[in-house]
Structure 1
Amino acid sequence: MIKRILFLLVLIFLISQFLRPTKNEASYDSIATFEAATIVSAEVKTILQNQCYDCHSNVTRYPWYMEVSPISHWMAYHIKEGKEHFNVSEWESYTDKQKNHKLEEFVEEIEKKAMPLESYTWMHGKLPDSDAEKLINWAKQTSDAITKGKEEPQEKVTDSLPVKVSDSTVVDSI
């Protein structure tokens, strides 16, 4: 009986290797758009690339163990969940209010040390406190810039030359 159960488990494991989840592989352009819009420094960019983008963008760097089921399904679930909460690749689709809310949650999760997930840190290491502080400062500055842009709309630049009223007469069409 135990041999049959073991055989069945091995068979299920082997079959599951052929049933892979869809990979999260898109163009890096969406991330570049986010980085340009939020004015990310090189230092913060590196932290985001190493700690955040794999689960919070449409671009994931897959480690070797992602090729093994059921780990691949478990990680695909985490990536899907991460993107539902905050997806930098969708940054341009958020309203200013949503952007500020996402950044507030971003800061809150880092301050609570809830991000990155503990399961992520097993292989990638914990987020050092100094890096966490840099991310928090960047997120707060970005949020302030969004709020400031909302409260103080940029003035339209108009031509400063005076308008000359001509003495021409309008002729009715014939």
Structure 2
Amino acid sequence: MKKVLKIILATLLFIFIAIQFYQPALNVNKGQVYQTDFAKVYYVPTNVQRILQNACYDCHSNNTKDKWYANIQPMALLMKRHIDDGKAQLNFSEFGSLGSRRQISKVKGIANQIKNDEMPLASYKIMHSNAKLSKKQKKLMVNWMNKTADSLSTIN
């Protein structure tokens, strides 16, 4: 029985070490600010931009701040999938390339998800304490996003 357990543990250790050689690129365009970035397309107050960067940009932009665990498999692979899914839903780096009605819809969606505590995800807030929004920050974000969506609606 001990021999079987040792073989199983050795096999698991080998697999764990072997998968460390696969390192997916999480976000290949780090640090680059696009002309289509949300903050380039709209005037975003500093306090709102700071919240976006702390609570949203890691998963919803091309500028992820990697943590130490981003280089350890299988965490790196899970993070890549999570970031790819997040950017497919909303990418602040490419926000300006969306049509105006889609932008309005996205801004309203941001407000609703923050208001309903759907974003930032609870799993993200565990490892990123600065992404935990206070009631005041949530109110600021929801009000600013709704005001922005309303002003965009009047333009179109």
Letter in 2 for 1:107: A
Q: Which protein has the larger Cα radius of gyration, Structure 1 or Structure 2?
A: 1
Q: 1:105 to 1:147 in 2, by over 3 A?
A: same
TM-score norm. by structure 2 comes to 0.90
Identity rate of aligned residues, in percent?
35
Say whether residues 1:120 and 2:124 are aligned partners. yes
Q: Report the counterpart of residue 161 of structure 1 in structure 2.
A: none
1:19 corresponds to which of 19, 22, 34? 22
* Structure 2 residues without counterparts, runs of 5 or longer: none
Question: 1:30, 1:88 within 8 Å by CA — same for their partners in 2?
Answer: no
In structure 1, what is the Cα distance between the partners aligned to 2:118 and 2:143? 17
Q: Report the counterpart of residue 100 of structure 1 in structure 2.
A: 104
Q: Report the counterpart of residue 144 of structure 1 in structure 2.
A: 150
Say whether residues 1:53 and 2:57 are aligned partners. yes
Larger RCO, structures 1/2 (Cα 8 Å, 6+ apart)? 2
2:69 corresponds to which of 65, 69, 79? 65
Deviation at 1:51, TM superposition (A): 0.7
Q: Report the 3-state secondary structure (helix = DSSP H, G, I; strand = E; otherwise coil) of the residue aligned with 1:29.
A: coil
Please, what is the CA RMSD of the aligned residues? 1.5
Q: Which runs of 4+ in 1 moved over 6 A?
A: none
Deviation at 1:135, TM superposition (A): 1.2
Equivalenced residues, count: 150
TM-score norm. by structure 1 comes to 0.81
Q: Report the counterpart of residue 4 of structure 1 in structure 2.
A: 7
